A = this chain, B = another copy of it.
């Protein structure tokens, strides 16, 4: 049995020993370095651009501007509003204007300082709440990139009578930086008359299409290989298209290898972030605590271009009402333009913002009703047969209640609560608190991204029985290769060591869409199982011919193959079949279950499956300083099937900590000129090993009948509910309701102001 086993991640050894090849480890003969010349201002018109002096600098081999683009000056994502290089206008500080290629990074830097640009500055929009209908027009539709809504049930009904209790509040969230260990980078070179790109990325097929369009090359002439990728978290979904195109335009014109690697500052200042937001919530329950209505108003700051915003906003819209039975829902969501860095994908994808707001509101409502936060949630959580926020009937793998029960039990919640009360009664300034959140996650691309929802693969069995499997989804540290190998090994009944999961390469695998939306495991699984089914069929046929009889099925287990009353060693069968030239190399394509979406009501089957989660967090708050210490977190997640429980636990811990960083300390500051001023880890602090609370991961497996081995996917979910668990725990500890994250000591103090202590 390979599935369900806590196999050590296959890529861990080469990463730990330093053998893994990252982009910066690749040097090619004759290689040039590329760097980007960027706008110093947030908004303006380029009056003149003079590269002539810069071109004379020793070692500079080329400087490329919008004029040098052989194809479209567009980086394709969704709305196609983002130019590859600014031509007339600059839209945010750091907006790329030109790319320099030179024999040393130093020559590049010198060129950047020598390029002369005259920009007529225009008034800029920095505050996103001031964007819509602003006299400054950044996007044609009154600066609104996109909007979504949900109108479910009696969505307009008023609940003014005394039979109902309502809370209404506005919440704010900030930019969040992905803080991947490895910054953006790519090396681009010609090989076999094909432009070959090796980059750090989540979505090679995005890069292939974007670069093809910029350079006017056919898709097959742009070969994209995902290089070992040092973290991504959404930050390498769409952005690498831009980064790779920057190196690519140099390699295209100069016909030599070109490498681009951002330094941390450039990366933090110019790469996408989580969308800052304002979320207004009005949540109404009856006297028993049953939620009857939720109103939500979600405003996202998209930055200068829309990039992935439509998809991000869609997910936020669907996820706003949370994992609760609520018959009547009214949600409006809009994303607006500002002259700041374009925001994009980030683990959770528009949902942590609304979950922070909604889960805060749930706690506020519980308090108003005199209920325990756990109790009120238990009363409202969905179960099999219920509908979710978009009216989708939940009938497969609905583990919410099971997660709830297990987490409450594992946490020994009521005892824990008692212990904390006891502690607080004895401690004057240091107070403990418990914070709770429940949430769900729509797995996969959903109705907004379903056109990309494909699961391609290639599986090849060599003569010695060892296997090479290729899938269209990427490993970026989340363990994708390991679970893929486990699923292949499980199917063939062989040891996982026999399976190599190859590097993703657009020339060997067909478009599988991006590796996002917690779809890695399920996409890889569906993919390889579809190719393996073909191989199994060939072997079945081969055995029937060989034995001159028919067999109902062929079973692979423990290195053996059983059919009828016969048994063969797996390796013996493969050797025989290879010798007889049976084809053991197949491609597969699985198309996931359909999803639907009605633009007018927001109703439909938004995602093919949902993951479910509950977190209980204990913190300690210093009433004098406002400092919060993370103590212990019980985090429960329904994943359908844990293909690798150890990795599921790892995802829970890593993701939860990332969510705690978001809630507690990651405080990105944007200047009044739109520039990110916290552009390295000395000013933008993220949790370190010192900050980690005791994590108690709780894994729930409510089999997803359509998933590979019952798995669905949940990689983003651990992050998503931690900010409200944190702020709820702070409130629980010291009565301070933090409505704007991160909950820095200053904000906690501020929130405590009207509390008497």
Does A583 count as interface, using CB distance less than 8 angstroms? Answer: yes
Does A122 count as interface, using CB distance less than 8 angstroms? Answer: no
Q: How far is the CA of A220 from the CA of B256 in the complex (A)?
A: 32
In A548-563, the 8 Å CB interface with B consists of none
Does A751 count as interface, using CB distance less than 8 angstroms? Answer: no
Residue from the list B189, B255, B481, B510 in contact with A584, Cβ < 8 A: B510
A464 near B219 (CB under 8 angstroms)?
yes
Does A747 count as interface, using CB distance less than 8 angstroms? Answer: no
CB distance from A576 to the nearest CB of B (A): 13
CB distance from A273 to the nearest CB of B (A): 30
Q: A579-B451, A581-B589, A583-B510 are in contact. Are A500 and B221 (CB under 8 A)?
A: yes
Q: How far is the CA of A166 from the CA of B25 in the complex (A)?
A: 70
A220 near B589 (CB under 8 angstroms)?
no
Does A497 count as interface, using CB distance less than 8 angstroms? Answer: yes
Q: A19-B255, A579-B451 are in contact. Are A192 and B508 (CB under 8 A)?
A: no
Does A392 count as interface, using CB distance less than 8 angstroms? Answer: no
Q: How far is the CA of A584 from the CA of B510 in the complex (A)?
A: 8
B190 near A14 (CB under 8 angstroms)?
yes
A192 near B11 (CB under 8 angstroms)?
yes
CB distance from A264 to the nearest CB of B (A): 20
CB closest chain-B residue, reference A454 = B581
Please give, as numbers and ranges, the residues of chain B lying within 8 Å of A192 by CB-CB distance: 11, 14, 228, 481, 500-503
CB distance from A535 to the nearest CB of B (A): 10
Does A21 count as interface, using CB distance less than 8 angstroms? Answer: yes
B589 near A193 (CB under 8 angstroms)?
no
Does A26 count as interface, using CB distance less than 8 angstroms? Answer: yes
Please give, as numbers and ranges, the residues of chain B lying within 8 Å of A462 by CB-CB distance: 208, 218-220, 510-511
Does A499 count as interface, using CB distance less than 8 angstroms? Answer: yes
Q: How far is the CA of A313 from the CA of B194 in the complex (A)?
A: 41
In A186-234, the 8 Å CB interface with B consists of 189-194, 208-209, 212, 218-221, 223, 228
Residue from the list B17, B218, B507 in contact with A464, Cβ < 8 A: B218
Does A689 count as interface, using CB distance less than 8 angstroms? Answer: no
Please give, as numbers and ranges, the residues of chain B lying within 8 Å of A503 by CB-CB distance: 191-192
Does A29 count as interface, using CB distance less than 8 angstroms? Answer: yes
CB distance from A181 to the nearest CB of B (A): 18
Q: How far is the CA of A507 from the CA of B502 in the complex (A)?
A: 8
CB distance from A290 to the nearest CB of B (A): 42
Does A414 count as interface, using CB distance less than 8 angstroms? Answer: no
Does A632 count as interface, using CB distance less than 8 angstroms? Answer: no
CB closest chain-B residue, reference A208 = B462
CB closest chain-B residue, reference A497 = B218
Please give, as numbers and ranges, the residues of chain B lying within 8 Å of A255 by CB-CB distance: 17, 19
Does A75 count as interface, using CB distance less than 8 angstroms? Answer: no
Residue from the list B17, B189, B193, B212 in contact with A10, Cβ < 8 A: B193
A220 near B499 (CB under 8 angstroms)?
yes
Does A458 count as interface, using CB distance less than 8 angstroms? Answer: yes
Query: Among the listed stretches A53-61, A466-474, A694-702, which one makes contact with chain B, having 4 or more residues with CB under 8 Å of it?
Result: A466-474
CB distance from A340 to the nearest CB of B (A): 33
B10 near A508 (CB under 8 angstroms)?
no
Residue from the list B11, B467, B578, B587 in contact with A587, Cβ < 8 A: B587
Please give, as numbers and ranges, the residues of chain B lying within 8 Å of A466 by CB-CB distance: 218-221
A509 near B585 (CB under 8 angstroms)?
yes
CB distance from A229 to the nearest CB of B (A): 12
Q: How far is the CA of A190 from the CA of B29 in the complex (A)?
A: 19
Please give, as numbers and ranges, the residues of chain B lying within 8 Å of A190 by CB-CB distance: 14, 19
CB closest chain-B residue, reference A499 = B220
CB closest chain-B residue, reference A500 = B220
Q: A220-B468, A589-B581 are in contact. Are A458 and B508 (CB under 8 A)?
A: yes
Does A13 count as interface, using CB distance less than 8 angstroms? Answer: yes
Please give, as numbers and ranges, the residues of chain B lying within 8 Å of A579 by CB-CB distance: 451
CB distance from A306 to the nearest CB of B (A): 22
Q: A500-B220, A503-B192 are in contact. Are A510 and B585 (CB under 8 A)?
A: yes
- Give the top 9 A-B pairs by smallest Cβ distance, nearest first: A218-B466, A220-B466, A219-B462, A583-B589, A510-B585, A220-B500, A508-B508, A220-B468, A585-B587
Known: A27-B27, A218-B466, A220-B466. 6 other contacts (CB 8 A): A11-B192, A13-B193, A19-B255, A219-B462, A220-B467, A462-B511
Q: What are 27 pairs between A and B in contact, CB < 8 Å?
A: A19-B256, A21-B28, A26-B28, A27-B27, A27-B28, A27-B29, A192-B481, A192-B501, A194-B500, A194-B502, A219-B462, A219-B466, A220-B462, A220-B467, A221-B466, A221-B500, A223-B502, A456-B585, A458-B585, A462-B511, A468-B508, A470-B508, A502-B507, A507-B508, A585-B587, A586-B587, A587-B587
